[in-house]
Amino acid sequence: MALYWLDAMVFISPSRQGYYDFDLAPSFWMMLEDRSADGVLASTTRVCGELARRRDAVGAWAEARKESRLFIEPNETVQDAFKKVADYVIGNYKHHRGAEFLGDADPWLIAHAIVDRGKVVTHEIPNSLMAQQVKIPNVCKAFNIECIILFEMFRELNIVLEFKG
């Protein structure tokens, strides 16, 4: 399946910060669709749900693609991997922090990457376990899943976005 599993912030940050707004950089959004159609990158349906709840341009874009190959429904194997992620988080973090993390899409994203031996693409940076806030890179590390940022994925896939003026 996918080699790269995209966190919600990979969709949100480019639009929020303006550097890949839909009107300025349609090639970014088309690249996501094209590479997901090729099976190179994906996200979980849980991320699609998070995005759709935003009620903004990114949410509308995601909602329109919820049936595409970009957003993958967790199968039974991914659900089993999710249980392992949940056990790890429950065993290593305070209850309220673990519950917060397990209540959103992040553990599902990691579970997909575990099953597919993929990489997680996120803007999060690891923190000390002493901080007690559950971060994607920390959980990925516990499962030997590589965690990279969006621009690293671009370089690994030789993606060059063209801007026309």
| pLDDT tens, residue by residue, 17-69 | 777 888 888 889 999 999 999 999 999 999 999 999 998 999 999 999 999 99
Higher pLDDT, 160 or 142: 142
Least confident of 88-102, 125-139, 147-161: 125-139
Phi and psi for 121 in degrees, rounded to 5?
-110, 120
Cα distances (Å, whole numbers) of residue 48 to 83, 102, 104, 144: 21, 16, 11, 25
pLDDT confidence bin for 130, thresholds 50/70/90: low
- Asked whether the predicted pLDDT for residue 151 surpasses 70, the reply is yes
Report the alpha-carbon distance of residue 31 to residue 11 in Å, rounded.
12
- Asked whether the predicted pLDDT for residue 92 surpasses 70, the reply is yes
pLDDT confidence bin for 139, thresholds 50/70/90: very high
pTM metric for this prediction: 0.93
The token pair that represents 148 in the structure block: 């990279």
pLDDT at 150: 93
- For residue 7, the one-letter residue type is D
User: 22, 121 in Cβ contact below 8 A?
Assistant: no
pLDDT at 165: 61
Higher pLDDT, 27 or 77: 77
